[in-house]
Amino acid sequence: MTATITPEFRFRRLRRTSVLRDLVRQHRITTDDLILPLFIEEDITEPVPISSMPGVVRYPESQLTEVVQRAWNKGIKAVLLFGVSTHKDNVGSDTWDDNGLMARCIRTAKAAQPEMVVISDNCFCEYTDHGHCGVLCEGSHEGMDVDNDPTLANLQKQALVAARAGVDMIAPSTMIDGMVAAIRQALDEEGYNHLPIMSYSTKFASAFYGPFRDAVDSTFKGTRSTYQMDPANAREALAESVLDELEGADILMVKPGLAYLDVIASIRANCDRPLAVYHVSGEYAMIKAGAAAGVIDEEAIVMETMLAFKRAGCDLIITYFAEQIADWLNA
């Protein structure tokens, strides 16, 4: 004899048609969620493809106006600028030159589309000849290490150059202790208390960054484990973001994304600030490789990944797929 089972509630009732599914969908991806990273290189005249990141290029300065306008016309409202400098030294001094690459890119992007939110990545790895994120101190047991407090002083100078160039948001990515407080102090003392800070507040020393080093033509060798986070430490990951919130960060960030959804959810549960995630170069490259091999549906995987970030608690997503996502949404 077969028993008749009648569930009191059938979840499938609201999955029956695409319209019903749309009505009860809990998370959505829109172009308002997206931030597009852009690489701009000095002294080139044509885009340079990045072999480890198919579809991503280093743009010449002369094309930045066109790229920003194109992104805006697709509905993308924020860009994150990375300079690829040919004027590198041991401290990244080009970034505190009002006519240096970082300042020029900010001015160009703002002139291209004044309403675009132009965000400067505030670090030194693209501008130092050693590829580390600040001033080096010698003698650590792991080789080269970054000297915390001199790097803070340089970050203050760099942030003020970005502010004078017209940037809309400062995004410090060095993972140097006290970086948010130092930048906030410098900005406020010079009358830029209206500028928000989006901190790379929980940034891991991750293997997922490999292709990024191709993107910025980095000379980096060694490890950043002395200043970026140990991937094993979830409680410390939360503490890093909580501290940056207390120091005055307006937006918090987790980098990378997919391997750290638990960290995103933990920060969301404990912090009130808007939360961003950086869908990094290695994550991008793996999807592209899978799609090229014909083993995954690229659009479906990308959109499912974006929903995972939103479901975990993110408000903003920095991704190299931003223009493709905008195209899919607009279609």
Query: Which active-site residues does the annotation give?
Result: 203, 255
Determine the Cα–Cα distance for residues 303 and 290; give it in Å rounded to an integer.
15
End-to-end CA distance of the chain: 53
Residues comprising the chain, all counted: 331
Query: What whole-number distance in Å separates Cα of residue 321 and Cα of residue 317?
Result: 10
Q: How far is CA 10 from the centre of its chain?
A: 41
At 138, list the tokens.
């010698």
Q: Beta 316-319 vs 275-279: how paired, if at all?
A: parallel
